[in-house]
Amino acid sequence: QSALTQPASVSGSPGQSITISCTGTSSDVGGYNYVSWYQQHPGKAPKLMIYDVSKRPSGVSNRFSGSKSGNTASLTISGLQAEDEADYYCCSYAGSRVFGGGTKLTVL
Amino acid sequence: QLQLQESGPGLVKPSETLSLTCTVSGGSISSSSYYWGWIRQPPGKGLEWIGSIYYSGSTYYNPSLKSRVTISVDTSKNQFSLKLSSVTAADTAVYYCARDNYPFDPWGQGTLVTVSS
């Protein structure tokens, strides 16, 4: 299984919206509605932000949203805040589990 | 609430076997519908799923690591464990355990394992 493809970095100014893509194949992202997204601050464990493509766990801001089209899933963060600066990883069920390579979000 | 904590040696010699345990508190590892997983992250790199186990003992492993990985569960201690054999420097990473209900949530805090002589 190959890692899902994410952009290495994205950036945005406070208040703006950004979108992070996660591209896989019909055997993973495209084949199941089990895409999840994780936020990781330096030195910390990953935190679940989105699951089942577009569902938000309790306590996660509604500024975070997820979607999927074909073999590509997306995480959108609206109203960017300084504390959103972190690494973001997608993950898909694929019979097994496969992560994306990660995207570093910089809030300018 | 459910909490997970990794434990084990922080230093392992090349060619030896890495052994880690994840202790689950605040809930039973025997709860139905959940798998329990191991994920690792080499320094400065991304996350890699290692494998997951059901409380009954059924396992799924990353094909790229399958020949070296064994994950087991001890329901009496509410723990599950990871063994990775024939380690090299490339296995140096922070190792996380997590409840695997696709998604992974919650996660342990992680433990750094360094492979070095």
* Distance from C-alpha of A83 to C-alpha of B78, rounded to nearest angstrom: 35
The per-residue pLDDT for B33 is 76
| Ordered per-residue pLDDT tens for chain A, 108 residues | 688 999 999 999 999 999 999 999 999 999 999 999 999 999 999 999 999 999 999 999 999 999 999 999 999 999 999 999 999 999 998 888 999 999 999 999
Q: Which residue of B has its CA nearest to A95?
A: B60
Report residue B32's pLDDT band, with 50, 70 and 90 as the boundaries: low
Residues A101, B61: C-beta atoms closer than 8 Å? no
Give me the residue from B49, B61, B105 closest to A99, CB to CB.
B49
* Distance from C-alpha of A97 to C-alpha of A95, rounded to nearest angstrom: 7
Write b or e for each residue in A33-70: b if 16 or more Cβ atoms lie within 10 A of its Cβ, otherwise e: ebbbbbbbeeeebbbbbbbbbbebeeebeeebbbebee
Backbone Cα Rg of chain B: 13
Residues B46, A51: C-beta atoms closer than 8 Å? no
Write b or e for each residue in B50-64: b if 16 or more Cβ atoms lie within 10 A of its Cβ, otherwise e: bbbbbbeeeebbbee
Contacts of A38 in chain B (CB under 8 A): 47, 103-104
Of B56, B71, B60, which is closest to residue B20 (Cα–Cα)? B71
